[in-house]
Amino acid sequence: MKKVDVYILKMFLVTFFFSMVLFTFIAIAVDASEHTQDFVKSGQSFNQIVANYYIGFVPYIWGLLFPLFVFIAVIYFTSRMAARSEIVAILAGGSSYNRFLRPYILGGIILAALLFLANREFIPKGNEIRGNFQVKYLDGIDRSGGGSFQDTYYRRSDSNSYLGIRYYDSVQKSAGGFFLHRTKDNKVVYNLRAEGMKWDTAQKNWQLTNAVERKVTPEGEIITRLSTLNLNLNIKPSDLKKDKYLKDKLTTTQLKSFIQLEELRGSEGLNTLKVERFRRSATPVSVILLTLIGAVIASRKNRGGGGLHIATGFIIASLFILTDRFSSTFSIKGNFPPLLAAWTPNLIFSVVALWFYKKAQK
């Protein structure tokens, strides 16, 4: 690397981290003003709120706005270089335009790798801290002990077993009704029904009450009545509890395993999880694309100065976010493939980046 490469890369990284810290403080200030009353009602001290909420909130903001931080940083410091005619001097010194872009691409790859690693482990762990606090104190959950109920769950326990759970209470970890049947060669060979079920914390399985068990054999049907029956299912209480922050809490490895397990159970509505899984790989690529677009836009000196570059940058960033939201919504609410939904913004803005590159003054 030459001195000019080190200079550009240093400006890139310093401006990025400065803008990230600045916007993080702004986000914390806005969030704190919105939740002041909730914090007071929670009874948590300042140190507890910081440790139990904002320690997780900061990684969440970083993960959410990381590509935007990179884009703003590139636009800002490159437009300043253009205003001081530094880019003209670099190109006049014999460097090609492609050679000039090399430190930008290197910086984008470094930051993309950082985001990729953070998306897999660091950010989900922060989201778990933030999500647990929000569920307990900020989302208006009834803390009177009544719990949350869902009328009926239908699940596939394994490849041959299907079960249903009625009136499940996530706090008491109990249900008002249960049934299970197993099939073989498209025929029901086993059926189990119970008036109630509850999680047995000692044996780590489900305890059924007033159960009726039916087994279909070649000789006929065998019926057995049991006052209590402990049963091992491929389902735990945490699997039955609704958690809107679940996709954000799981590490990438856990998310892949959870999706596979839910597919085995025949669960519906998995596109939300699948889009999140694919986005964790797609977003780092977005960092590289936005770095290139920002460098090409801001390297051109014009009479509008840096303000025009920043305005153009915000328009492009807004369009990128809208494209991402639309593709995700079409996948979650419709039949748009999750993999394509996660990568659509990158595909579209690859064309945008190529167009800006061809139009750039070299």
Give the model confidence (pLDDT) of 3-43 as tens digits: 888 999 999 999 999 999 999 999 999 999 998 888 888 88
Indicate if the pLDDT at residue 141 is higher than 70: no
**CA 346 from centre of chain:** 17
Average pLDDT over residues 357-362: 78
Three-state SS sequence of the chain = CCHHHHHHHHHHHHHHHHHHHHHHHHHHHHHHHHCHHHHHHHCCCHHHHHHHHHHHHHHHHHHHHHHHHHHHHHHHHHHHHHHCCHHHHHHHCCCCHHHHHHHHHHHHHHHHHHHHHHHHHHHHHHHHHHHHHHHHHHCCCCCCCCCCEEEEEEEECCCCEEEEEEEEECCCCEECEEEEEEEECCEEEEEEEEEEEEEECCCCEEEEEEEEEEEEECCEEEEEEEEEEEECCCCCHHHHCCCCCHHHHCCHHHHHHHHHHHHHHCCCCCHHHHHHHHHHHHHHHHHHHHHHHHHHHHCCCCCCHHHHHHHHHHHHHHHHHHHHHHHHHHHHHCCCCHHHHHHHHHHHHHHHHHHHHHHCCC
Indicate if the pLDDT at residue 267 is higher than 80: no
CA distance 302 to 195: 76
Highest mean pLDDT among 187-191, 268-272, 278-282, 319-323: 278-282
pLDDT score recorded for residue 147: 44
CA distance 348 to 321: 12
CA distance 145 to 242: 16
Average pLDDT over residues 275-301: 91
pLDDT score recorded for residue 304: 57
pLDDT score recorded for residue 333: 85
Between the alpha carbon of residue 98 and those of residues 354, 358, 361, the distances in Å are 13, 11, 12
Amino acid at 353: A
pLDDT score recorded for residue 345: 92
pLDDT score recorded for residue 303: 64
Average pLDDT over residues 109-125: 94
Q: Which residue has the tokens 């993309």?
A: 112
pLDDT score recorded for residue 173: 83
What band does 351 get if pLDDT is binned at 50, 70 and 90? very high
pLDDT score recorded for residue 300: 78
Between the alpha carbon of residue 163 and those of residues 154, 191, 303, the distances in Å are 6, 10, 69
Asked if 52 and 42 touch (Cβ cutoff 8 Å), the reply is no
pLDDT score recorded for residue 362: 64
pLDDT score recorded for residue 146: 43
pLDDT score recorded for residue 149: 45
Indicate if the pLDDT at residue 357 is higher than 80: yes
Share of the chain above pLDDT 70, in %: 94
Which pair of structure tokens corresponds to residue 211?
């159960």
Average pLDDT over residues 310-329: 84
Q: Which residues pair with 223 in a beta bridge?
A: 214
Residue 320 or 139, more confident: 320
Indicate if the pLDDT at residue 210 is higher than 90: yes
What band does 305 get if pLDDT is binned at 50, 70 and 90? low
Q: Is 130 left (phi over 0), alpha (psi -120 to 50) or beta?
A: alpha
CA distance 192 to 121: 41
pLDDT score recorded for residue 95: 84
Average pLDDT over residues 332-357: 90
Indicate if the pLDDT at residue 59 is higher than 90: yes
**CA 239 from centre of chain:** 18
